[in-house]
Each structure stands twice: as C-alpha cells, then as structure tokens.
Amino acid sequence: MQEWFADFKADFQLNFIDDGRWRWIVQGLGNTLKITLFSLLIGIALGIMVAAVRSTYDKNKEAMSKHKGAGYHLFTVVNAICKLYLTVIRGTPVVVQLLIMYFIIFATSRNDVMIAVIAFGINSGAYVAEILRGGIMSIDNGQFEAGRSLGFNYVQTMIYIIIPQVFKSVLPTLCNEFIVLLKETSIAGYVGIVDLTKAGDLIRGRTFSAFMPLIAVALIYLVLVVVLSALVGKLERRLRKSER
Amino acid sequence: MRDNKEAAIATRMDDHIISVRGLKKHYKGGAIKALDGIDTDIARGEVVVVIGPSGSGKSTFLRSLNMLEIPSCGEIFVNGVDIVGKGVNINQHRQKMGMVFQHFNLFPHMTILKNMTLAPMKLLKKSREEAEAKAMELLEVVGLADRATSYPSQLSGGQKQRIAIVRALCMEPDVMLFDEPTSALDPEMVGEVLDVMKKLARDGMTMIVVTHEMGFAREMADRVIFMDAGVIVEEGTPAEIFDAPKSERLQSFLAKVL
C-alpha cells in the first residue's frame, strides 16, 4: 500500500508538478469552459429563434394562407431556411463542421477559440431548436385555443401560457443537450485548440504516462457534469413545487 | 321573469349580435364538407342550443364563430362587423366572446385566481385588485371561492368546468360559446355545471351551446338548432323540435337520444 502510494505520488509529481504541467490543465479547462459557455449562449439564442419560426409557421399556416400577403411569402422563405439549417447541421458530424469552419470559412482568422464557439454554437442551436419545438408541439392545442379565445394574440399566448409550460417540460432534455455540448467540445483539439482533453493528451505525450493525465481529465469532466445536473435538478424541483 | 326575457328578445329581434351567412368549411379541397352553408341569426340575450349527431359540424360551427376554425367561405357578422374579412382584429372580437371547451383547458401552471385574472389584467388593463375582486365575486357565485389558491390539478372535472366558465366571464363577454361543456364529465358532475349555465342564461347572457344534454335544451333554450351533415336541418323552439319534429332525420335522431 505504501509502495503504491509512493508510486502515485511520483506519477503525480511527474505529470502535474514538473515543468508546471498543471498549467496546461488549467488552461485547457479554461478553454473548455469558455467554448461551452459561449456556444451554449449562441445555441440557445439560435434555438429559440429557429423554434419560434418553425412552430409559428406550422401553427399559423392555415390562418396565413387565407390572405396570402407579402408577409406570408417571406415567412415561407424564412421557414425553409430554418429547415435547411436543421437538416445540414444535424446531418453532418460536428467534427466535420468544426474543420470546415476552421480551414474554409474562417481560414484567415487565427482566433481559434472564437471559431470553435461559433461552430459549436451553430451546431447546438439546431438541437436546441428541435427540443424546444418538440416541447411546444407537445402542449395540448387546447391551451393555445383557450389563450386565443380569451383574446390573447399569438405572441401573448406563447409568452403567458405556452412557454412557461414548455420550459418545465423540456428542462431535462435541454440539460442533456448541454451535457452533450460540454463533452463534445473535447474535439476542439482537432483544430489545435488546447482544451481540457488536448491538455491531458499533451501531458501524456510529454511524460509517456497515460494513466494519470487522462483519468484526471475524465474526473474533471465528470465533476462538471455532476454539478451541472445538480443545478438543473434543483431548478426543476423549484418549478415543480409551484404546481402543488 | 321568463316572460320578461322573451319580451326583451322580441323587441330586439332586429338587434342581432351574430349573423351568419353562407358559412362553409371544406377540408381536402372540398372532399369533406364539415359545414355546407349555414345561415342564422343570434339575437342579444338569446339562448341557442345546437344539437346533432357526431360529425354533423356543430362543433365546427361553434368554433367558427370566434375563428378558432377558419371558414372556407361565408360571412360572420359580430356586432355588425364581418370577422372573416381581411384586416379585422380578431383578438378584440374574441375578448367579447367567451368560450368554454369540452376539456376545460385551464392553465395548469397557474392558480385558479391567476387563471381568471390573467386576461383581464393583460388585455383589459385592469389593476390586480380590480381583477381579483371581480374573480372572487364570480367564484363566490359558483361556490368555489375557497379554491382560489388551488391549482387546476387539484380540482374535480365539474369544478374545473365551473372555473372555465367564470374565467371566460371575467372578460365580461357579450356572448358565451359552449362546446360540449359536460361531455367530458362524470355523470354526477354534469348537474353542477348545468346549474351554472342556467343561472347565466337567466341573467340574460347570450349563449350558444353545443350539447347532448337534451334536458338542458328543453328547459333553457329559446331556440334549438338541429344540424346534420354540415347544414341546419331544422330549428325552432324546444317544443317544436322535441315534441313535433318535422324532418325524418331529426325524428330518428331523437328516437336514439331520448
């Protein structure tokens, strides 16, 4: 036991203390959190917009087609663009999207983290959009009709009656998407960004000792996910309490 | 009181709150005709009960009246304005037309009081105190004042439907539309909802009721409309409809339901 502990200590010393290698982990963790947080914000913003367009179009198609105005045709085009976005983003691997962003679209930019944020944000937006749309569609149509029959317009009905119910029902699925996003950022190393995963791998490359850095990286991801889930769980319980 | 009301309707027969002309609703390019030409007038204070077999278009007709169902063609005049026409603010008209649904459609994430005060506060710009006072007054009338802070999931079906009725009344509508309000209820709860509707009718509310409750139709209706296959087959007073049905279709319908 003592021997094992001494080995562990030496291994730890080699991988994290010597040459200040722990700084890679810190830097990597910083980049991972930065990319996750900002792409999360982009994803939510994009997701809300696309879900709003798609579900509004589906729910009001009949009413709008009655008086085909310029607005109707514009809306049809915007809806088609949203559909195309969903198809392309969900139909191709996120690694490929990241590589395309890095080597083609932003080939002249060297702001690596920003490129990753954009790539992951656009990717996540497609999934968030479909989660939200699913949530909106799962609300009984009677709730829409009750809101509209009281005299609320479409937007007011969404804000006062539908969205609060949607938010509660999609929270677990959204949380899942955020966990996936956090872990997906581990491919940022593909374009040379030192994120948490890349940092662990760099250390492994230097020390030829795989166990310590990789397990450490895995544990850090695990802790992040557990904390995130706990926070969402707390929010969920608070929302549910308001109903009993 | 009954006589007073009839007299009141008679003097206002030209005062139609709703006039429907040539109302049609077709699906699948005309293959399915849910409504195939409806013409009728509803007088202020009148209680109209719409009966008919399922699939006869009675619910579609009712839902067309506040544009929850968009007509294929025809005109619906509400207080003289054709609400099917272009450029009409349908939301404003809906504020004046209360609607009660078969499945209640209370908002599950709000207390009863919030359910009732949301629309008056947001749309009529009432103060919270004013809206809550009105809501409590109505809750008192239907005997549910003690449930103001409950959530819909804590109520029985009959209680939910009574709340749904007073929620619509909080907007002080000119006309109330009922879409099979008792069809989703356990039998022993039907009475409490019908009682509220009767009270409302006696107070002079204009009501259009789609229902299978023939007892209610006979007792409360000023006029009964019998629909089948998307058209009005026969209409008249309860006595004319129930005691002396003219058309064969109505006779066979009544033989089945009475």
pLDDT, position B147: 95
What stretches of B50-186 show up as alpha helix (H) in DSSP? 58-64, 90-95, 112-123, 128-141, 157-169
Q: What is the pLDDT of residues A157-169, one digit of tens each?
A: 999 999 999 988 8
Whether B151 sits inside 8 A of A244 (CB atoms) is yes
Residue contact A63–B94, C-beta within 8 A? no
Nearest chain A residue to B122 by CA distance is A152
Q: How confident is the model at residue B46 (pLDDT cuts 50, 70, 90)?
A: very high
The arithmetic mean of pLDDT across residues B70-81, rounded, is 92
Q: Show the low-confidence residues of chain A (pLDDT under 70).
A: 66-67, 241-244
pLDDT of residue B7: 52
Q: What is the dihedral of CA A124, A129, A134, A139, to 10 degrees?
A: 130
pLDDT of B257 over the 50 cut = yes
Q: Does A68 touch chain B (CB under 8 A)?
A: no
Q: CA B37 → CA B24, B26, B75, B228, B229, distances in Å?
A: 5, 10, 10, 12, 10
Per-residue model confidence (pLDDT) at position B193: 96
CA atoms within 13 A on the CB side of A222: 6
pLDDT at B12: 47
The pLDDT score that the predictor gives to residue B248 is 95
CB–CB contact B167 A150 (8 Å): yes
Q: Are A200 and A216 in contact (CB under 8 A)?
A: yes
pLDDT digits (tens, 9 = 90+) for A6-55: 988 888 888 888 888 899 999 999 999 999 999 999 999 999 999 999 99
Would you place residue B11 in the very low, low, confident or very high pLDDT band (cuts 50, 70, 90)?
very low
Q: Of A62, A149, A161, which to mutate for an interface test with B (greatest number of B Cβ within 10 Å)?
A: A149
Query: What 3-state DSSP class applies to B82?
Result: strand
Put simply, whether B151 touches A (Cβ < 8 Å) is yes
In chain A, where does DSSP find H-type helix?
2-12, 22-66, 70-91, 94-100, 112-138, 141-150, 154-157, 163-184, 196-207, 211-241
Collect all residues of chain A within an 8 Å Cβ-Cβ radius of residue B105.
Answer: 140, 142-143, 145-146
Q: Nearest to residue B221, comparing CAs of B237, B245, B200, B205?
A: B237
pTM here is: 0.83
Which residues of A are less than 8 Å from B108 in CB distance? 165, 243
pLDDT, residue B1, reads 44
For residue A165, the chain B residues in CB contact (below 8 A) are 108-109
What are the structural domains of chain A?
Answer: 2-243 (1.10.3720.10)
| pLDDT tens digit sequence for B197-231 | 999 999 999 999 999 999 999 999 999 999 999 99
pLDDT at B8: 52
Burial (CB < 10 A; 0-12, 13-18, 19+), residue B53, is middle
- Provide the pLDDT confidence category of residue B14 given band limits of 50, 70 and 90: low
Backbone torsions φ then ψ of B213, nearest 5 degrees = -85, 90
Q: What is the mean pLDDT of residues B2-29?
A: 72
How far is B81 from B83, CA to CA, in rounded Å? 6
pLDDT band per the 50, 70, 90 thresholds, residue B4: low
